[in-house]
Amino acid sequence: MFGQLVVSGLAVGACYAMLAIAMVIIYKTSEVLNFAQGEMAMISTFIAFMFIEMYQIPFHYTLALTFLFAILLAVFFELVFLRQAKDPTVLGLIIITLGFEMVLMGFAGWKWGPDQRAFPFPVSNIEAYNVSGLIISKINFWTLIVSLILMLILFLFFRYTKLGIAMRATQQNQLAARVMGIRTKWIFSFTWALSSMVGAVAGMLIAALGVLDPPMMMDPLLKGFASGVLGGMTSLPGAALGGAMLGIIENLFGGYVSLSFKSVVAFAIIVLMLCVKPSGLLAKHYVKKV
**Nearest one of 205, 218, 12, 242 to 109, comparing CA atoms:** 218
Mean pLDDT (whole number) for 261-277: 79
3-state secondary structure of 212: strand
**Nearest one of 98, 100, 103, 79 to 33, comparing CA atoms:** 98
Distance spanning both ends of the chain, measured CA to CA: 54
Cβ contact 34:195 at 8 Å:
yes
Instruction: Point out which residues pair with 233 in neighbouring strands.
Output: none
pLDDT tens by residue, 95-118: 999 999 999 999 999 999 999 999
The mean of the pLDDT values for the chain is: 89
* Residue spans per domain, the chain: 2-216
**Nearest one of 228, 204, 164, 210 to 34, comparing CA atoms:** 228
Predicted local confidence at residue 289, as pLDDT: 46
> Any idea of the CA torsion for 263, 30, 184, 243, to the nearest 10 degrees?
-30
Predicted local confidence at residue 265, as pLDDT: 80
pLDDT tens by residue, 121-161: 998 878 888 877 788 889 999 999 999 999 999 999 988 99
The residue among 245 and 265 whose pLDDT is bigger is: 245
Mean pLDDT (whole number) for 244-248: 91
Helix, strand, coil % over all residues of the chain, rounded to 5: 75, 5, 25
**Is the pLDDT at 287 greater than 60, yes or no?**
no
CA 249/CA 231 separation, integer angstroms: 14
Q: CA-CA distances (angstroms) from residue 110 to 130, 185, 199, 268? A: 43, 33, 22, 34
pLDDT tens by residue, 185-226: 899 999 999 999 999 999 999 999 999 999 999 999 999 998
Q: Give me the DSSP letters along 93-156.
A: HHHHHHHHHHHHHHHHHHHH-S--B----SS-SS-EEEETTEEEEHHHHHHHHHHHHHHHHHHH
Contacts of 287 (CB under 8 A, 6+ apart): none
pLDDT tens by residue, 32-76: 899 999 999 999 999 999 999 999 999 999 999 999 999 999 999
Q: CA-CA distances (angstroms) from residue 159 to 155, 264, 280? A: 6, 35, 21
CA 50/CA 65 separation, integer angstroms: 11
pTM as predicted: 0.92
Q: Is the dihedral of CA 32, 105, 221, 263 positive or negative?
A: positive
